[in-house]
Structure 1
Amino acid sequence: MNSTQKNREDNNSSRSRSESPLSQEEQERRKKLPVYERTLEENIMRKKIKAVEKDRLIKVFNALIQLEPKRIEQETEGNKTTEGDTKLGKQKRKKSNEPKFSARAIYAMMKKLKYNPVGDEVERMIWEIDEDLDEQISWYEFQLMFKRCIKDTSYLEPRGLFNFVQFLMYAYDKEAIKNTITVEDTLELLYVRCGRQNLDGEIFKIFGQDEKTADGQEKEITYFEYLAQMKKKDFNNWTELENKKKKYDPSKEQNLNKKD
């Protein structure tokens, strides 16, 4: 099987995964609801992301799934006979077979990146976005996390797993994930999300002032270096937003409205 066929099969398998924990009937019913009656989560999941981003997101999810040790499901004969043909039994089996990854997969990937997590850093990544509290991340939760963070303008969304996944998306190269990234690795994803006008600024936030080394080689940064830059970026964005809030005076706007 060539790499193109393998990519197509991987992408199709990911797209066929459950997009929502709700039943199909309930999903169809809720689609007809007006925006104000939908939950925040539903509105976030309805937002579209660029095809390039989704394709890379699928590949990263699949890469993490591959690192997850196979779960051994032990079912007794009693469970099979009592639940085997019931609707509840089918739902349970479907849920148990849904591809998910846990902290173990993240630890394995971090080892490949030569990054040593601190304390409960990995467990916290899982906990922050684990909607059903099963200590594993499904494709639905994975998408929800990504969409929440890229649409977030308050800079208060937990970004532990997002920063990790974003680095992997940049580092994905020809069926493998490198342990460093360059400016060239980030260009396509940054361009489709930020546009040409903001591209240089985003590159600066990741790589700093110098895009090349002293000997003229393209600068490469590790996940450790990338994470430090992202934490700095997030803090600066949040600080800037808070300063704008402090400067905003509603009374001035009210006075202007009265004059009009």
Structure 2
Amino acid sequence: MTHQQILAKVANKYFARCIDDEIAYLTYQAMLGPQAKNKAPEEWLTEILPQLLARWNCLLEAPEVSESTVHSTWLAIAITLHKYGFQDKDLTQKAIDAIDYMNKHVLSSDDLFRKSEEIKTFLKSSPEPLKRKPAYQDSVTFFRAEDVISIQYNKHFYVAYVHEVNTGNERPVVEFYDGVFESIPTLDQVKNLKAKGRGIEKPVISKFGIYNRTHLPDFANQFVLLAIGVKEKPDNSMLEIPAGLYTMSSLYDIQLNIRQLFLLKG
């Protein structure tokens, strides 16, 4: 039995591909640099897991998401991490609980039901460590210029305006509105807000080119499209001119960018 065979039993191929792409990307990033080769998989996992969960908790902790979806997501994450040579005790237990839940509520296929114990044993087994950095999919974006998007981070919601998409259709270039929300806002709540600039005394215009934001709708529930064709950009006339056009970012780096831009702790 392979990881791919198990994933095919618990998640549709697009959902599974999304999780695989993201864990492959995070694993690749963790394995970069001269010091990385001296680290054990457990050390890489301490870098990967907090970033992964900060994003996927947008789905896992959402009150409107069904319990069955939560269980299947935990199972898919645990299987994929195992595929890339990682194992976490708590995640493995969540995956085992998910199998039991799916069987109890008749949500699993006959094949999954019959092979449940085999899959549990497989998940508990020590994964094979990677010998080289994994490949991951090229960056493609489905956002377009003049989109307005909500981005959830740490149970709060931030809104960004898409100024442009680069010629290769790899990344949207976004600028944040100066607002923080407790739930996904409407366009009316943000359209009159000014742009958020980086810095305190002399804040500067702050735009970000986000790589690896491919799937739309977002399976992790973190990015939500609020509106399309919005002509009026957030007003940044009060901000200083930056040294560059925008900051290179990614699906996961944007979490750090939000913390820095909005002066968040952690």
TM interval, shorter chain, is under 0.3
**Larger fraction in helix:** 1
Under a length normalisation based on structure 2, what TM-score does the superposition of the two structures give?
Answer: 0.25
